[in-house]
Amino acid sequence: MYVVIVCYRCGQLLLAKTTQKTRRCPRCEARLVLEKVKKVAHAKSASEASSLIRALKKKRKQPS
């Protein structure tokens, strides 16, 4: 199982396995503790989670 998380330093959307305890943000190099980060979506597969991230990024770019 996978989770889509948000980096608390730069706001980057990231993919992580639910079994991981930490994840490093490739953009700002912050070490994220998965128990403390904001989780925005859950997925059964990595490809499903990647699709969710693409959709969320597209939604963010749309003007209000």
Q: Of the candidates 38, 36, 35, which has an alpha carbon nearest to the alpha carbon of residue 11?
A: 38
The predicted structure's pLDDT at residue 4: 96
The predicted structure's pLDDT at residue 59: 87
pLDDT in tens, the chain (64 residues): 999 999 999 999 999 999 999 999 999 999 999 999 999 999 999 999 999 999 999 988 876 5
pTM: 0.86
The predicted structure's pLDDT at residue 16: 96
The predicted structure's pLDDT at residue 1: 95
Q: Write the single-letter amino acid at 31.
A: R
Query: In DSSP terms, which residues pair with 42 in a beta bridge?
Result: 3
The predicted structure's pLDDT at residue 64: 57
